[in-house]
Structure 1
Amino acid sequence: MSHTDQPSDGDREIPQHRARARGAVIEAEVERWLAAQGMIPVTRNQHAKGGEIDLIMRDGDILVFVEVRYRASNRFGSALESVTSTKQRRLIKAARFYLAQHGLSCSCRFDVVGVEGSSPRSIHWIRHAFEAF
């Protein structure tokens, strides 16, 4: 494909390093937004066996594991719809690892925050998005 035949920016995939940088910016925005809703940030991008937890926050006495999903458009489904049962299992496994690693035994929940659009972005927050069985 020649330079003039390349797809437009809207059709081209974003290079991995740019996608990670954009993800970090969006996660920081969501963390600030959740803090404005009364939640207290604990940590961000917690790597654990089998997955990564985007944000860990406190909501009173509850430790909240937050999955942040972004979609520029909903052409391939919404950001919230992208949290599949496989992704949920990975998050649960990562959360269990985090709890064990830190010697924690407390009430927990899993929230999902979907972010869509570019400017302005819309934020959709689902508390108790799924349960750990």
Structure 2
Amino acid sequence: MKGADAENRALAALLEQGHTLLARNYRIPGGEIDLVTRLGGVFVFSEVRQRRSARYGSALESVTLRKLELMQRAALTYLFREQGRDDLPCLLQVVSIEGEAASGVLSITPIE
């Protein structure tokens, strides 16, 4: 349930910014995207990470290059399967929460 709490908090923050939810936990073989939203004409693919303490690094630091590659593949698959093309404007980002899901510091970091 802890992961769901972090995802719910991240989704609430995105909705407050004007995003529209398109999918949660979109899965393909070998990859998953926690939240798929749309903001204007841009599809936004979000990985949600939470760390209660920085003992083993920050939530953002826990996202590996391999995870980013899998996110990119899942995002392209989503666009192709659900929108009929894979050349639409999109953004990959990490929504990180440092501390408890309900009260920790939430940050949104675009992946370039």
Instruction: Give the TM-score, by structure 2 length.
Output: 0.90
- Superposed CA RMSD: 1.3
Contact 1:49 1:97 in 2 (8 A): no
Query: Is 2:100 aligned against 1:120?
Result: no
Q: 2:78 matched to which residue of 1?
A: 98
Higher Rg:
1
- 1:1-133 to structure 2, matched below 5 A, reads 21-102=1-82, 103-105=84-86, 106-118=88-100, 120-127=103-110, 129-130=111-112
4+ residue stretches of structure 1 with deviation over 4 A?
none
User: Which is richer in strand?
Assistant: 2
Instruction: Give the TM-score, by structure 1 length.
Output: 0.77
- Unpaired runs of 5+ residues, structure 2, are none
Instruction: Give how far 1:93 is off.
Output: 1.1
Report percent identity of matched pairs: 39
Matched residues in 2 for 1:61 and 1:73: separation?
Answer: 36
Greater relative contact order: 1 or 2 (C-alpha under 8 angstroms, separation 6 or more)?
2
- Unpaired runs of 5+ residues, structure 1, are 1-20
